[in-house]
A and B are shown apart, each in its own frame.
Chain A
Amino acid sequence: MAQEPHLVLCVDDELIGLKVRKILLERAGYRVLTAPDGSAGLELFTSEPIDCVVLDYSMPGMNGGEVAAKMRQAKPHIPILLLSAYIGLPSEVLSMVDLCMTKGEGPPVLLSKLGSLLQPLSRA
């Protein structure tokens, strides 16, 4: 298993939340890049070999739905996990992403969902 750890891109405007999430994911064995808004996230997404995206929905400028749409255009195969503080997001947004969870569901849920998204790739 000399395999390189997966590179996860976290996009969120909540800076404390973002920082904590980065630490959490790093402890879980991922490499983590962070971006405080949609456009910075998109830049990293195109420039770096991102394996998976953990994307916040509610952000100033571009919201998670719009960011996801652009990411799908650039690299359609990269899985996206949408995090949201809201319940009941528009269905067109939900159909755009691979998985979705509400903030506050706890780290185990986050880690298992993220794991399930990356499993096929790690098997490969």
Chain B
Amino acid sequence: MNLSQFNRILRQVFLLPVIALLLAAVALYLQIQGANSTVRLIQESDAHISQVSRLNTLILNEESALRGYENTSDARFLQPYLDASPHLQAEFNKMKALPGLDDVERRYIDDLIDKHQTWLDAFALPVIATIEAGGQVRDVDLNLRGKFMMDDIRRDLADTTHNAEQRRAVRIDLWQHQVRYMEQLLLVLALCVGIFIGLFTRNRLHAVSDAYKTSLDVLGRRAEEIFQSEQQLRTTLASIGDGVITCDTEGRVQMMNPVAVELTGWSQAEAHDRPLETIFQIVNETTRLAMENPVSKVKRLNRIVGLGNHTILIRKDKTELHIADSGAPIRDRTDGIAGVVMVFRDITLERKTQDALLANEKLAVAGRLAATIAHEIHNPLDSVSNLLYLMRNGATKEESVQFMDMAEQELARVTQISRAMLGLYRESRAPVLVDLKEMLQEILLLMERRFSDDQVIVHTDLPSGVSVDAFPAELRQVFSNLITNAAEAAGPGGQVNVSLRPQPALSINGIRQEAGAIVTIADNGMGIPAEVQPHLFQPFFTTKGERGTGLGLWVSRGIITKHGGTIELASDTGETTHGTSVSVFLATKPTINAGGN
């Protein structure tokens, strides 16, 4: 049930009883009107009766006065007659004008008026005239006639009164009947309306209560669902392998999962409401400087932030962990920041593994060069031992000189190769000035045998005097990797171009590019499909199957990044244009990123 349905029910519950009561009131009103009109009729009858009695009185007065006058002939006795006579006419008129008279009554009245007039004319007036004239009216007949006439009048009056009383009784009966009927109707209406309103309200309330029950059910289910989902989230958070800390906008710790508790060494209860910096104390691995508070960094940038490489977390007991971490804003409904969630994990082991991988890759590079090294050492060694054998077994002086020259040449080769090889391992603590031409030539020398074995043709374009500050052993590793890749991609009969060019400082679209050098190693191999390219710099990704470690490009990029340079790869698989080109930019005076990778 939605709100509009509920409002409709409210309206119904309000309006329908009002309408029912109004209808009942109308019925009652009509009944009362009927009763009222009956009461009016009763009042009319009353008026009628009282009018008749007034007439009766006046006529009696007339008759009595006349009788007194007859007996005494004293005009004073006639006074009531004189008083009554004019009134009587008015009362007769009033009587005739009374409302609600039927024809019978009118006839009675007319008859009464006639009879009274007759009495006046035929008895009263002659009697008065006679007495006034000084006569006596002792005639029995005359008086009897007058009496009869008056009796007739009295009978008429009595009849009229009786009639009126009868009608009044009938009307009272009717009124009583009406009142009883009204009582019954009132009872029935009250009962009906009551039952109707009761039933209707019950029905509506049922609908509302059903809806309420439904919404209670829904609410209950929702609450259960929310509880379940909260439990699930809680379990998820607790089971997550990474440390999770949530903070409010002020950077006070709100929640920590068990991993976070373990990694930081602070319990949830201890940490709660403390500033994040206290719980999550992070410093840079090399500089040992405190790193920016993740909460303020997230608030400043208003987005998810990675919190820098080489972060060390100082635990409560002052032990240290290498961690990788990130911070993300917790958004409220208006997209504002309601807090910050930190996710971090212990990468101490990962770092050790990474270091081991790097060392391993270094060995792999040497391993790949082993063929060349063996060739370059064993061949001169073979010649030298043959020459020594010849000289020991008797050679002429000229021959000896010639043999020694040849032996020296061959030994020079060994020296050169051993130097080039040592270059791969010679570690320096600080960057030194590296002549890139020299370095690339040395690497190419180490790989020469391999090229000739694989029938790869190498073109070089290496101008002199291009130098950068770098760690030479590491750069050798990078270039030897890249050239090996290029030679393998080129395949028999393929070509590899190694070129070097200085890059002056320039500013493109406001981005300042330092002065440096670009080394480009290009091959005309089949090219790398676009879907493979994104994976090239990932560790353990190799297209060489068993022969590759899958670490070459990953390590190379790490080294170049450490040197503050960039490495970019472009590849084309087109039929006539196929090939891959890797460009490495190295700044002349780079800012070395001590951590590398």
Which chain B positions have C-beta within 8 A of A14?
379, 382-383
Which chain B positions have C-beta within 8 A of A60?
452-453, 455
On whether the beta carbons of A85 and B410 are closer than 8 Å, the reply is: no
- Given the known inter-chain contacts A20-B406, A58-B449, please indicate yes or no for A85 contacting B379, CB distance below 8 A: yes
Q: How far is the CA of A106 from the CA of B386 in the complex (A)?
A: 6
**Is B389 close to A, CB under 8 A?**
yes
On whether the beta carbons of B390 and A23 are closer than 8 Å, the reply is: yes
On whether the beta carbons of B381 and A107 are closer than 8 Å, the reply is: no
On whether the beta carbons of A58 and B375 are closer than 8 Å, the reply is: yes
Which chain A positions have C-beta within 8 A of B393?
27
Which chain B positions have C-beta within 8 A of A23?
390
0/1 interface trace, chain B 455-475, chain A, CB 8 Å (1 if under): 100000000000000000000
Give the contacting residue for A17; candidates B383, B390, B452, B453; CB below 8 A.
B383
On whether the beta carbons of A24 and B452 are closer than 8 Å, the reply is: no
Which chain A positions have C-beta within 8 A of B190?
none
In the complex, how many angstroms separate the beta carbon of B528 from the nearest chain A beta carbon? 27
- Given the known inter-chain contacts A58-B449, A58-B453, please indicate yes or no for A102 contacting B378, CB distance below 8 A: yes
On whether the beta carbons of A86 and B375 are closer than 8 Å, the reply is: yes
In the complex, how many angstroms separate the beta carbon of A20 from the nearest chain B beta carbon? 5
On whether the beta carbons of B378 and A85 are closer than 8 Å, the reply is: yes
**Is A16 close to B, CB under 8 A?**
yes
Q: How far is the CA of A14 from the CA of B376 in the complex (A)?
A: 10
On whether the beta carbons of B390 and A103 are closer than 8 Å, the reply is: no
Which chain A positions have C-beta within 8 A of B410?
16-17
Interface residues of A in 40-64 (CB under 8 A from B): 58-61, 63
Interface centre among A13, A16, A24, A58 (most CB of B within 10 A): A16
- Given the known inter-chain contacts A58-B449, A60-B453, please indicate yes or no for A103 contacting B378, CB distance below 8 A: yes
Interface centre among A21, A61, A85, A87 (most CB of B within 10 A): A85
In the complex, how many angstroms separate the beta carbon of B416 from the nearest chain A beta carbon? 15
On whether the beta carbons of A107 and B379 are closer than 8 Å, the reply is: no
**Is A90 close to B, CB under 8 A?**
no
On whether the beta carbons of A106 and B383 are closer than 8 Å, the reply is: no
Which chain B positions have C-beta within 8 A of A16?
383, 406, 409-410
Interface residue SS majority, chain B: helix
**Is A120 close to B, CB under 8 A?**
no
Q: How far is the CA of A59 from the CA of B381 in the complex (A)?
A: 17
**Is B338 close to A, CB under 8 A?**
no
Which chain A positions have C-beta within 8 A of B403?
20
On whether the beta carbons of A21 and B375 are closer than 8 Å, the reply is: no
0/1 interface trace, chain A 106-118, chain B, CB 8 Å (1 if under): 1110100000000
In the complex, how many angstroms separate the beta carbon of B404 from the nearest chain A beta carbon? 12
On whether the beta carbons of B383 and A20 are closer than 8 Å, the reply is: yes
In the complex, how many angstroms separate the beta carbon of A19 from the nearest chain B beta carbon? 8
In the complex, how many angstroms separate the beta carbon of B366 from the nearest chain A beta carbon? 15
Interface residues of B in 47-91 (CB under 8 A from A): none
- Given the known inter-chain contacts A85-B374, A85-B379, A104-B378, please indicate yes or no for A20 contacting B449, CB distance below 8 A: no
Which chain B positions have C-beta within 8 A of A17?
379-380, 382-383, 386, 410
In the complex, how many angstroms separate the beta carbon of A45 from the nearest chain B beta carbon? 21
On whether the beta carbons of B455 and A24 are closer than 8 Å, the reply is: no
Q: How far is the CA of A83 from the CA of B530 in the complex (A)?
A: 44
Q: How far is the CA of A63 from the CA of B492 in the complex (A)?
A: 12
Give the contacting residue for A104; candidates B381, B387, B409; CB below 8 A.
B381
In the complex, how many angstroms separate the beta carbon of A8 from the nearest chain B beta carbon? 14
In the complex, how many angstroms separate the beta carbon of A115 from the nearest chain B beta carbon? 15
B381 nearest CB neighbor, chain A only = A104
Q: How far is the CA of A87 from the CA of B373 in the complex (A)?
A: 12
In the complex, how many angstroms separate the beta carbon of A101 from the nearest chain B beta carbon? 10
In the complex, how many angstroms separate the beta carbon of B233 from the nearest chain A beta carbon? 58
**Is B216 close to A, CB under 8 A?**
no
Q: How far is the CA of A27 from the CA of B380 in the complex (A)?
A: 20
In the complex, how many angstroms separate the beta carbon of A104 from the nearest chain B beta carbon? 4
Q: Which residues of A contact B (CB under 8 A)?
A: 13-14, 16-17, 19-21, 23-24, 27, 58-61, 63, 83, 85-87, 102-104, 106-108, 110
15 A–B contacts, CB within 8 A, in A order: A13-B452, A14-B382, A16-B409, A16-B410, A17-B383, A24-B390, A59-B452, A60-B452, A63-B453, A85-B374, A85-B379, A86-B374, A103-B378, A104-B377, A106-B385
Additional 4 contacts, C-beta under 8 A, given A20-B387, A103-B382: A24-B389, A27-B393, A104-B377, A108-B389
